[in-house]
Structure 1
Amino acid sequence: MAETPSKVESMRKWVVDHKLRAVGCLWLAGITSSVAYNWSRPTMKTSVKLIHARLHAQALTLAALVGSGLVEYYDREYGSSGPKVDRYTRQYMSHSHKD
């Protein structure tokens, strides 16, 4: 009987397969929530609100990239799928090329 992956394992696999999409979604959510939070503060100038939103988005992007790197490291060290680069390298190296 095949074992169903847990929700955390499914999420980890999705992040490994879609790193850039995950970072982009996190950045978009961060900038949106930061702009919404800063716009609720009427005493700040618009330019300051945008600068704060950009800084928050940059911090979230760095955190997402570090998280993505950790997921990649975990997947290479402990993942059951094996190294993807070697699989593709073997596929191309096994074909003989004729002149």
Structure 2
Amino acid sequence: MSRIVIMEVAMKEEIPELYDIYFGGKVLFHYEEEFPFIVVGTTSSMGREAAIELLRGCEQFKAYHKHLFGTEVKSFVMDDKQFKKVDNWINYFHPNGIYR
């Protein structure tokens, strides 16, 4: 079972408000397990709590990920238009030197 599925199930039970932000369908979300990193796309339908979490660099998500798996996760936030343009996140970040 993938880490993100484990995290989604655990978060739904333990921190439902954080679950709503990331898995409630109000933001665009990508998780890359190999490196690990997340990319979140802002949308006009996200709420105030989501905006605060994303402005803070996804700090609650990162803390929960570290709690569950003992590893840090990097995050990147962008608008939904840019998010939808990317087909391969590893190619998007690594050739540009953003995450190494």
Would you say same fold, with TM above 0.5? no
Which structure's residues are more often strand, by fraction? 2
The TM-score, its normalising length taken from structure 1, stands at: 0.28
Q: Which has the higher contact order (CA 8 A, sep 6+)?
A: 1
The TM-score, its normalising length taken from structure 2, stands at: 0.28
